[in-house]
Amino acid sequence: MALTDLKVRNVKPNGKVIKISDGEGLYLQVQPNGTKLWRLAYRFLGKQKTLAIGTYPEISLQEARERKMEARKLLAQGIDPSEHKKDQIRAAKLASGQTFKAVAKEFLAKCEAKGYAKDTLDKKKWILNDLVIPVLGHRPIADIRPSEILELLSDIEASGRLETAKRVRQTIGAVFRLAALTDRAPGDPTPVLRGQIRAPRVTSYPAIVRPDEFGELMRRISTIRSTIVRLALEFQAHTFTRPIEIRFATWDEIDLETSVWTIPAERMKKRRPHDVPLVPATRQVLREVRKYTGRSHGLIFHSPQNPNKPLSENTLNKNIWALGYKGRHCSHGFRSSASTILNESKKYDKDVIEFQLAHLVGSETRRAYNRAQWWDQRVQMMHDWADMIAEMRERAAYRGSNTTIHPVSG
């Protein structure tokens, strides 16, 4: 006898599996826990098989009968309904992994696994999650055309964010290259978009590069009231490292016995660890920091308000600008200052300066060889640079002094 909605609804479990037929192989299976399942019994190629249709009441009696008829049509065409269902599930899973959003999420996961710096990873997440995925995320990545990407870039360009538009194009291209490598897209369509968006105006970090002006800058830095900010800027000026490398520096990276500060790869722009020689001037700064903060662990140059948070780059820049250097110098500018002054001195091999700046020089083999070869030269250069800073600062102090200097007789 065929089932009715009332009978399906009222059937109760009895501690055993109950099977109630509706005809033509369709039956309701009631589990001991009360769960009600629709099943279809059929034969395919001489074998008895069962197709799982779904649960009641999510699948009503009428819907179960309709799916039974669909399965019988497949059987009439020589298609196994169970295998057909598995194929559909596989296709759905494959399709869900072929959208731009799915590939973009994989791309971000790979970036994180590779140890990208937090700032870099955050920028990529922002570009993809906030700018690209809301527009292209739902589209199968293989179907996205250059014109669609151009429209997105043009909207960003129209808002005046030219550098952002450039980075969006680069990031979209990286996602497409991952899709191409995994056979989910025929290739990267972004190269044809080069030149279609106005190039951003390249602006370098403002930096004081004349020795006399740099000496005056260092003299003024010594007057900063915030001890931790002053010491952080002193340390950066002497090591000419990037702001992020200074701000997140921790005491466990410092080896005072061997006079080396080892910056880990995840904080370096080129994803390689970098050794910075410590000289008397930089060791003195570290001693002053430790004396001031009373800490020998965690962040070295932490926020004055919270020892578990680093100084912000904005804080460093604002203190420099408060000295009268807004638009003339910034925290990142110490790198250009040191590079220019050291190169113009003609005392040091250009490659030694570039290596100390953590710019990669030459081939991988040459870099590996020169790292050891140049260490003594780099140590000497950092000693000399500290002496140069002291001399430039003293000259600036002398020039700014109103004291008359009288020759000593006898």
CATH number of the domain residue 119 falls in: 1.10.150.130
Q: Domain check: are 65 and 80 in the same one?
A: yes
- Of the three residues 72, 94, 116, the one that is the final residue of a domain is 94
pLDDT tens figures, 2-49? 888 899 889 999 889 999 998 889 999 999 999 999 999 999 998 999
Distance CA 329, CA 255 (A): 31
Catalytic: 118? Answer: no
Question: Which of 238, 329, 332, 393 is the catalytic position?
Answer: 332
User: What pLDDT score does 404 carry?
Assistant: 38
User: What pLDDT score does 90 carry?
Assistant: 66
User: What pLDDT score does 102 carry?
Assistant: 92
Q: Domain check: are 330 and 349 in the same one?
A: yes
Q: Domain check: are 144 and 77 in the same one?
A: no
Q: Domain check: are 156 and 15 in the same one?
A: no
Instruction: Indicate whether 200 belongs to any domain.
Output: no
CATH code of the domain in which 352 resides: 1.10.443.10
Instruction: Indicate whether 407 belongs to any domain.
Output: no
User: What pLDDT score does 367 carry?
Assistant: 44
* Average pLDDT value for the chain: 86
User: What pLDDT score does 410 carry?
Assistant: 27
Instruction: Indicate whether 126 belongs to any domain.
Output: yes
Instruction: Indicate whether 406 belongs to any domain.
Output: no
Instruction: Indicate whether 198 belongs to any domain.
Output: no
pLDDT tens figures, 288-324? 999 998 888 899 999 888 888 999 889 999 999 999 9
Q: How confident is the model at residue 203 (pLDDT cuts 50, 70, 90)?
A: low
User: What pLDDT score does 195 carry?
Assistant: 84
Question: Which of 242, 267, 274, 378 is the catalytic position?
Answer: 242
Q: Domain check: are 280 and 395 in the same one?
A: yes
Sequence-separated (6 or more) residues with CB below 8 Å from residue 364: none
Catalytic: 383? Answer: no
User: What pLDDT score does 181 carry?
Assistant: 92
Instruction: Indicate whether 35 belongs to any domain.
Output: yes
> Domains in the chain: how many in total?
3
Q: Domain check: are 225 and 368 in the same one?
A: yes
* For residue 285, pLDDT beyond 60: yes
- Give the largest CA-CA distance in the chain: 130
Q: Domain check: are 334 and 263 in the same one?
A: yes
User: What pLDDT score does 284 carry?
Assistant: 95
pLDDT tens figures, 241-270? 999 899 999 999 999 889 999 888 777 766
- Of the three residues 94, 112, 129, the one that is the final residue of a domain is 94
Q: Domain check: are 158 and 283 in the same one?
A: no
Reference 246, options 292, 285, 296; nearest CA is 285
Q: How confident is the model at residue 406 (pLDDT cuts 50, 70, 90)?
A: very low
User: What pLDDT score does 328 carry?
Assistant: 92
User: What pLDDT score does 199 carry?
Assistant: 73
Q: Which range has the worst mean pLDDT, 84-98, 150-164, 214-228, 304-318?
A: 84-98
User: What pLDDT score does 95 carry?
Assistant: 58
- Of the three residues 144, 165, 193, the one that is the final residue of a domain is 193
Instruction: Indicate whether 49 belongs to any domain.
Output: yes
Q: How confident is the model at residue 368 (pLDDT cuts 50, 70, 90)?
A: very low
Q: Domain check: are 90 and 104 in the same one?
A: no
User: What pLDDT score does 70 carry?
Assistant: 92
Catalytic: 359? Answer: yes
> What is the reported pTM?
0.52
Catalytic: 242? Answer: yes
User: What pLDDT score does 363 carry?
Assistant: 45
Instruction: Indicate whether 206 belongs to any domain.
Output: no
pLDDT tens figures, 326-357? 999 999 999 999 999 998 988 988 888 888 88
Side by side, the strands of the sheet bearing 36-44 are 18-23, 26-30, 36-44, 47-56
Q: Domain check: are 63 and 110 in the same one?
A: no
Q: Domain check: are 249 and 326 in the same one?
A: yes
Question: Which of 167, 335, 378, 393 is the catalytic position?
Answer: 335
User: What pLDDT score does 150 carry?
Assistant: 93
Question: Which of 269, 271, 290, 367 is the catalytic position?
Answer: 269
Question: Which of 138, 309, 359, 399 is the catalytic position?
Answer: 359
* For residue 93, pLDDT beyond 50: yes
Question: Which of 9, 369, 398, 399 is the catalytic position?
Answer: 369
* For residue 403, pLDDT beyond 50: no
CATH code of the domain in which 18 resides: 3.30.160.390
Catalytic: 72? Answer: no
User: What pLDDT score does 358 carry?
Assistant: 79
* For residue 109, pLDDT beyond 90: yes
Catalytic: 369? Answer: yes
Domain, as residue range, for 320: 211-400
User: What pLDDT score does 219 carry?
Assistant: 94
Return the ∠ at Cα 229 (arms to 205 and 266), rounded to 5°. 60
Q: Calculate what percentage of the chain has a pLDDT beyond 90.
A: 56
Q: Domain check: are 144 and 278 in the same one?
A: no
